[in-house]
Amino acid sequence: MSWVVGILLASAIAVQLISALGLLLMPNVYDRIHFLGPASTIAPVLTAAAVVTVEAFDHQGIETVLLAVFLCVFGPVLSHATIRAARIREHGDWRERPDESVRRPQDPAGAGRP
Amino acid sequence: MNAWLWAAAACLLVLVPCVLRTVRGSTFDRLLGMQLAGIVVSLALVMLGEGFERSIYVDLALVFGVLSFVGSLAFVRFCERWV
């Protein structure tokens, strides 16, 4: 069973490391925030799986699962609030501006918007 | 040292890019570094709790995770317009 725990822990650390490097290397805040997703969803689940493999659902197992569920649910909420705040700080409003050209599937050139 | 303690030590390595991001850049870059550091430290506390067989560290991880979320959300709300 120890090799299962080792693989789960190594995967969790790898996900965290890639997320941290992405946070460091990406060019702007809109790109960087994507790297919070794996760190707040995949890594806690892998860690909780490793703990449950060893402890089953005793005190530590249940608390770690609770922590993983909390991070999975509220991590994206925090990411959403952060990027909304960044957009408001930058442009004054989070909504799309009239002069902003957004590329959409039915509007490939980004033109022709009202 | 067992696998849990090695993993917790590796989490310290992961904290280095978070700290580098937190000490430089714009306000929101720093906030992102702080948020990721909160997640990493929560998971490191879980690993330390397993490694040292001290369940109180897992309690600490849970409380730290919740408080990190609340603190980050408060920072984000203030950074939106006022800070």
Place of tokens 């603190």: B71
Cβ <8 Å between B40 and A86: no
Q: Which of A62, A89, A90 to mutate to test the interface with B (most CBs of B within 10 A)?
A: A89
Q: How confident is the model at residue A55 (pLDDT cuts 50, 70, 90)?
A: confident
Interface residue B79 vs chain A (CB under 8 A): yes
**Per-residue pLDDT reduced to its tens digit, A69-85:** 999 999 999 999 999 99
Q: How confident is the model at residue A114 (pLDDT cuts 50, 70, 90)?
A: very low
Overall average pLDDT of the A90-114 stretch: 66
A-chain residues near B60 (CB < 8 A): none
Write the DSSP string, B8-22.
Answer: HHHHHHHHHHHHHHH
Angstrom CA distances, A62 to A81, A113, B48, stand at 28, 52, 16
- Closest Cβ opposite residue B81 in set A19, A78, A88: A88
Q: Tell me how many domains chain B contains.
A: 1
Angle between helices B27-52 and A36-55 (to 10 degrees): 10
- What does pLDDT average to in each consecutive run of 10 residues of chain B (83 residues)? 91 92 90 94 95 92 94 90 70
Per-domain boundaries in chain A? 2-91
Distance CA A71, CA A34 (A): 15
Cβ <8 Å between A60 and B55: yes
Q: Torsions phi, psi of B49, nearest 5?
A: -60, -40
Query: CB contacts < 8 Å between A and B, how many?
Result: 128
Write down the ipTM of this complex.
0.90
Could you list the residue range(s) of the whole structural domain that residue B21 is in?
3-81
Quote the pLDDT of residue A108: 54
Residue A96 has pLDDT above 90, yes or no: no
